[in-house]
């Protein structure tokens, strides 16, 4: 079975501050280590559960987070290819998608490092009138290929969001947020053990979890934190101003879901 692991960093065990998640942060080098170890634990669990091939997409901040020479030797890395194309190599031959290190959507009070694509500019993102975070958008893109999301790890808020949208997937909680930067954190060792066991269990769910299929057209609405962020994205052909802080756009493909902003 062929598995695709889409990774982010904010939902990795032990990560709860921007100094860790930002590539310019003082604690980012140590966070890279936490991420790489957690990926390796998930790869290990997936292999134990019967995976024959494991692709890993290092999607946080455009890639470059995984410590390459420490990645599990049986994993294959795919690098994100820019805005809106962060899951290259995902196709209908993949049996299941795993979401590792996820965070809840922007505005989730108990979501550690909660945001939707940009923690600096985006307030809300809706598709056909429903609010989506990064977990949901990943599920829609996977659903385009009829690939189910069977595993999600992150803080309790991220796992709650995934379960609400995607049903009975394997959710692995590695920390519990009190607020944006505070929470109850398991040690890295414990987090790795949890995701490894969860990944193995998730493998047995392949076949029983349906892909999340949302058919086009997609009516997008991006609400920014400030009106000037909306101003800056009005040069994209087809964007319409909905109100001072919001723009809208209708697209017909999952590959255009992020075409509404730069």
The residues of the shown chain that bind Zn ion, judged by CB under 5 A, are: 8, 10, 60
Comparing CB distances to Zn ion, the nearer of 9 and 51 is 9
Q: Which is nearer to Zn ion, 9 or 222 (CB)?
A: 9
Residue nearest to Zn ion (CB): 60
Token pair in block for residue 48: 């134990």
Cα(first)–Cα(last) distance of the chain, in Å?
36
Residue nearer to Zn ion on the CB measure, 10 or 155: 10
Distance of closest approach, residue 109 Cβ to Zn ion, in angstroms:
19
Nearer to Zn ion, 9 or 54 (CB): 9
Tell me how far, at minimum, the Cβ of 240 lies from Zn ion, in Å: 29
Q: Which is nearer to Zn ion, 191 or 239 (CB)?
A: 191
Q: How far apart, in whole angstroms, are the C-alpha atoms of residue 170 and residue 107? A: 24
For the CB of residue 179, give the shortest distance to Zn ion in the complex, in Å: 18
* β-pair partners for 250: 219
Q: How far is the CB of 196 from Zn ion (least distance, A)?
A: 22
Pick the closer one to Zn ion by CB: 60 or 221.
Answer: 60
Minimum CB distance to Zn ion, residue 86 (Å): 10
CB of 219 to Zn ion, least distance (A): 26
DSSP the chain: -EEEEEE-STTSTT--SHHHHSTTSTTHHHHHHHHHHHHHHHHHHHHHTT-SEEEEEE-GGGS--S-GGGS-TTEEEE---STT---TT--TT--EEEEEEE-PPTT-TT-TT--SS-TTTEEEEEETTEE--HHHHHHHHHHHTTPPEEEEEEEHHHHHHHHHHH-S-EEEEEEEESSSS-EEE--HHHHHHHHHHHHHHHHTTTTTS-----PSPEEEEEEESSHHHHHHTTTSTT-EEEETTEEEEEESSGGGTTTT--
Closest distance to Zn ion from the beta carbon of 108 (Å): 15
Question: 8 or 155, CB closer to Zn ion?
Answer: 8
């Amino acid at each position: 079975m062929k598995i695709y692991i889409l990774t982010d960093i904010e939902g990795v065990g032990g990560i709860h501050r921007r100094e860790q998640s930002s590539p310019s942060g003082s604690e980012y080098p140590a966070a890279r280590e936490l991420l790489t170890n957690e990926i390796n634990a998930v790869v290990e669990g997936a292999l134990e559960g019967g995976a024959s091939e494991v692709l890993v997409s290092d999607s946080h901040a455009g890639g470059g987070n995984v410590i390459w020479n420490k990645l599990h030797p049986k994993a294959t890395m795919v690098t994100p290819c820019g805005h809106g194309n962060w899951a290259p190599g995902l196709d209908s031959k993949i049996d299941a998608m795993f979401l590792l290190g996820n965070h809840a959507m922007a505005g989730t009070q108990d979501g550690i490092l909660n945001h939707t694509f940009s923690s600096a500019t985006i307030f809300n993102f809706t598709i056909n009138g429903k609010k989506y975070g990064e977990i949901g958008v990943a599920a829609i893109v996977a659903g385009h290929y009829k690939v189910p999301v069977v595993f999600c790890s992150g803080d309790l808020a991220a796992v709650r969001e995934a379960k609400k949208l995607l049903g009975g997937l394997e959710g692995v909680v590695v920390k519990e947020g009190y607020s944006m930067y505070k929470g109850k954190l398991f040690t890295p060792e414990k987090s790795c053990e949890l995701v490894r066991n969860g990944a193995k269990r998730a493998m047995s769910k392949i076949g029983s979890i349906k892909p999340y299929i949302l058919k086009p057209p997609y009516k997008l609405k991006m609400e920014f934190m400030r009106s000037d962020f909306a101003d800056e994205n009005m040069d994209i052909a087809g964007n319409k101003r909905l109100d001072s802080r919001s723009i809208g756009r209708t697209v017909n493909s999952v590959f255009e879901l992020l075409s509404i902003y730069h």
